[in-house]
Amino acid sequence: MSTILSITDLRKSYAGGFEALKGVSLDIEEGEILALLGPNGAGKTTLISTVCGITTATSGSVKVAGHCIQQEFRAAREMIGLVPQEINLEPFETVWNTVRFSRGLFGKPRNDALLQDILTKLSLWDKRNSQVKELSGGMKRRVLIAKALSHEPRVLFLDEPSAGVDVELRKDMWDVVRELRQSGVTIILTTHYIEEAEAMADRVGVIAKGEILLVEEKSDLMARMGKKELEVMLTEPISDVPASLAAHGLRIGPQGRSLIYTYDVKAERTGITTLLNDVAAAGLVLSDVSTRQSSLEDIFVDLVKGEPS
Amino acid sequence: MNWTAVAAIYRFEMARFFRTLAQSFISPVLSTSLYFVVFGAAIGSRIEQVEGVSYGAFIVPGLIMLSVITQGISNASFGIYFPKFIGTIYELLSAPVNFLEIVLGYVGAAATKALFIGVVILITAHLFVDLTIQHPFAMILFLVLTCVSFALLGFIIGIWAKNFEQLQLVPLLIVTPLIFLGGSFYSISMLPPVWQTITLFNPVVYLISGFRWSFFGVADVPIGLSLLAIAAFTGLCLVAIGWIFKTGWRLRA
């Protein structure tokens, strides 16, 4: 795979002195889905806006397939599609004209068959002659996606695509995104929903206070930082952890009916065998055992707090 | 040049105009008719002739200029302000277009609308008074240049404006008084000498005078000066827009 988007030491300071991006460097491979996670005000949207040409960088460079976004802005921007976070649409225009306008604006010749295909995939074809203002919120968001896809971008930015979208529609959107990836489009999405990153991304980047804290393969990240919990269900409830088990650092589960043991999946010895032996030795009777992998959300919260555990 | 983009912007803007075609059409016809009733019939019957032209006919060039200038400004300023207001400007800024292409699209559409309304008024006026156009090519040149230059000014206002009040401010406080005091409804020679001199500082005087000359062959100021004035004004607007695009003023953070 080759690098399609290369961001080097990108900085953005606003007139008031606020530093929204503090030297962001990021390489994005062609065909991947990268999820950028970060709390509000982390710099996700500023990063996207700068790459897309909406905001001017203070310093640093951005290259799209080797084209500098400043010197070769036409070649660079032609390749980029942007789905903004806010629903920004001309309310009085029809869906069809809005999407057609976008294609023209990006300098692509008219291609009604392609637009029909895009609108059909996004379940908007029936609404093509409706004014944008008549559509529901979810439909408007899909119009934004249709606009971004209308000029056949190779890199697609989705800024919070699921904000204000119901669960069903979110799943539909994920399908669309996966399908796009299949067709070779590189996708960068920002999201608050860790579930979304977990479901779709190949790699996950975490950004906070204008800095990229890490970018890793999602599976590596979860394996490296993932904790697992072993829950030992007991036949009889207990009120305290027996003294003989104190060394294992156990927590008592709901209603004292279980013991919860946290261990590191990458550790050489997980300590499970010893624990189970000790539990039996303490005279406790087990009814069931289950394990649970910590989610990206747990990892994310740890990272942003600055205390990777 | 990304001509496809210019055409896309132009078409999108013209669609806005055609969505409200009835309004766009009725309002200038109605206001022109009112001006004719009030100025032409009521007042004109007492003035009779100005510089050898019947008063009703004399005010036609001024009336057309009045509408074309205000329409050019309001169409262009709204055209670029509205995307800023509703947020769709993001697409324009992220598209592979340069500023010249954006200006061509927006100003071209705004000027076309103004021109359309100018022609509608000319036709309406024709129903009220006898009109002969002595220099038709000069008339078209003045009309088109005025549409374009004031659409450029409107574009600047639209980028400058931070809210709807500001959008109305310049047209209301500066442009409309300049048009009314620029000899739309009278000849400068009718003014006392002091005011004649002061009036010459009003740039609109040169436009209306030149435009009127193309109809009747009479002018308040030499025709060459009129052409120079409108060329200078257009140039000034272009320089200002060039600077805006270079710096990204009020467009790019």
Structure ipTM: 0.89
Closest by CA to B105, choosing from B217, B238, B14, is: B14
**Which segment of A273-282, B1-10, B77-86 scores lowest on mean pLDDT?**
A273-282
Instruction: Tell me what pLDDT residue A309 has.
Output: 42
Q: Do A101 and B86 touch (CB under 8 A)?
A: no
- State which residue of chain B sits closest to A108, comparing Cα positions: B4
From B110's Cα to the closest Cα of chain A, the distance in A is 17
Question: Which residues of chain B lie closer than 8 angstroms to A150, CB-CB?
Answer: none
pLDDT tens for A285-298 read 888 999 887 777 77
Interface of B with A in 91-130 (CB under 8 A): 91-97
Question: Which residues of chain A lie closer than 8 angstroms to B95, CB-CB?
Answer: 77, 105-106
Q: Would you identify the CATH topology of the domain A227-293?
A: Alpha-Beta Plaits (3.30.70)
Number of alpha carbons in the 13 Å side-chain half-sphere of residue A141: 19
Q: Which CATH number fits domain A3-222: 2.60.40.1190, 3.30.450.40, 1.10.3720.10, 3.40.50.300?
A: 3.40.50.300
From A19's Cα to the closest Cα of chain B, the distance in A is 13
C-alpha pair distances (Å), A75 with each of A51, A181, B8, B69, B157? 13, 21, 19, 38, 31
DSSP H helices, A53-155, are 73-78, 95-105, 112-121, 137-149
For chain A, the domains span: 3-222, 227-293
Average pLDDT over residues B104-108: 96
Nearest to B88 among A78, A88, A109 (CB): A88
Q: Do A88 and B248 touch (CB under 8 A)?
A: no
Q: Which residue has the higher pLDDT, A270 or A69?
A: A69
Question: Which residues of chain A lie closer than 8 angstroms to B248, CB-CB?
Answer: 56
A55 vs B: CB within 8 A: yes
Instruction: Tell me what pLDDT residue A306 has.
Output: 67
Average pLDDT over residues B68-97: 94
Q: Do B248 and A56 touch (CB under 8 A)?
A: yes
* DSSP 8-state class, residue B40: I
Cβ atoms within 10 A of the Cβ of B22, count?
8
Q: Is the pLDDT of residue A271 over 50?
A: yes
* DSSP 8-state class, residue A295: P
Q: Do A106 and B90 touch (CB under 8 A)?
A: no
Average pLDDT over chain B reads 90
Question: Which residues of chain A lie closer than 8 angstroms to B12, CB-CB?
Answer: 90, 93, 97, 101
pTM above 0.95, yes or no: no
For chain B, the domains span: 3-247
| Spatial contact of A98 and A127, defined as CB atoms under 8 Å apart | no
Average pLDDT over residues B34-44: 79
Provide the pLDDT confidence category of residue B220 given band limits of 50, 70 and 90. Answer: confident
